[in-house]
Amino acid sequence: MKISEVREMSVADLKDRIAAEKANLDSMKINHAISPLEDTSKFKKTRTDIAKMMTVLAQKEKQN
């Protein structure tokens, strides 16, 4: 996900998306423990996306 896409989202959308991505990351970790994923780079990409969204969310909340 590009940072420009994240900046266009509203605060409520960001909060919902962060919660969904965190749940997705947790399920990926559980699935990886059971049967290893072929592409483990998805972990890093998901964590990076969550960090981008949390950063933009903090910036937006600080502005208000």
* Contact criterion met (CB below 8 Å) for 33 and 41: no
* Annotated domain spans of the chain: 3-63
CATH number for the segment(s) 3-63: 1.10.287
pLDDT at 64 over 90: no
**pTM of the shown model:** 0.91
Interval 1-60: pLDDT, tens: 899 999 999 999 999 999 999 999 999 999 999 999 899 999 999 999 999 999 999 999
Question: Closest Cα partner for 56 from 2, 1, 4, 7?
Answer: 7
